[in-house]
Amino acid sequence: MLRNVAAVLLNGVNPFELGVVCEVFGIDRSDEGLPVYDFAVASAEGTVLRCNSGLTLQVEHGLERLEEADLVAVPAGSGFESRTFPPELLQALRRAVDRGARVLSVCSGVFVLAAAGLLDGRRCTVHWRHAETLSRQYPHLTVEPDVLYVDEDPVITSAGTAAGIDACLHLVRKEEGPEVANKIARRMVVPPHRDGGQAQYIERPLPQHSGDTVAGVLVWMEQNLDQEVTVEQLAARAHMSPRTFARRFQQETGTTPYRWILRQRVLLAQQLLERTDETVDAIAGRTGFGNAAALRHHFVRAVGTTPQAYRRTFRGTEAA
């Protein structure tokens, strides 16, 4: 049962990510028949903390407040990916999990959970900008960079910033049911559940071509994404045998010709959905997918949401 919630803070905490936890669990909504949580903010580094935006916070509770919490939330903070955390905080988080409590991180708060060893052998997520760093520093966990949150009960991790709302509402839905989660979301004026994952928000610019061998072919491929091509045809353009071309292509791009052109087609589709009023069928033709069904299939696999939902997100309902 989820009744007692504590947010634990460190110097450099991000006000927005802290606000997410406070908004979901720290507001009295009993006038609508919604549960009221025994919510408190605790500090791991003294009674006065600085935020990354220059604000300072006066915090009443210390780490002892975590001992009674059913949920300990760790909001993101500036520089969390490269700092050392207080050993007593890491011990308190481990004790919380050992006695049956949950822990939840918002964005880079995941580095605290990882440092405590709570993610070893588990899946997790973080803002896509930190995913590679997290994987490199903690090889015993599995980072899923394309999702909004990961529930590996009793550990829940969320991606960048607003994804913390998704993770918190997910936990409310899990504990209290969808009606309660929906009512809280309505009060917050946010969707109770967002389609897709953070893949749709990751900026993937068209790559710069560092290699000389296939650079000319890559330029041609970018300019002719609507055409069906084979490795044999591409190899002929590069004046190589298909086997040599495939090997060189892998060396210089890190992927196969098929996967490379598929990715560029999805990228072009994203740009057209954001910037034009063309129909999905027309975009499918321009990007080489041929029809809307094929575009939708590959788009969902790459971005985590449908072309129509993506357009609604980035252009608004009128454009959709």
pLDDT tens per residue across span 243-262 = 999 988 887 777 889 988 99
Domain assignments of the chain as residue spans, ordered by start: 4-201, 215-315
Indicate the Cα dihedral angle 134, 25, 312, 280, nearest 10°. Answer: 60
Distance CA 118, CA 312 (A): 37
pTM over 0.75: no
- What topology is assigned to 215-315 in CATH? Arc Repressor Mutant, subunit A (1.10.10)
Give the pLDDT of residue 318: 45
Higher local confidence (pLDDT), 303 or 82: 82
Residue 285's pLDDT is 94
Is residue 52 scored above 90 in pLDDT?
A: no
CATH superfamily of 4-201: Class I glutamine amidotransferase (GATase) domain (3.40.50.880)
Most confident of 172-186, 248-262, 285-299: 285-299
pLDDT band at 212 (very low <50, low <70, confident <90, very high): low
For residue range 74-114, what is the model confidence (pLDDT) as tens digits?
A: 999 999 999 999 999 999 999 999 999 999 999 999 999 99
Torsion of CA 196, 197, 200, 206, to 10 degrees: -130
Q: What is the mean pLDDT of the chain?
A: 89
pLDDT confidence of residue 196: 60
Supply angle C-alpha 102, 78, 304, rounded to 5. Answer: 65
Q: Do 4-201 and 215-315 have matching folds?
A: no
pLDDT for res 208: 47
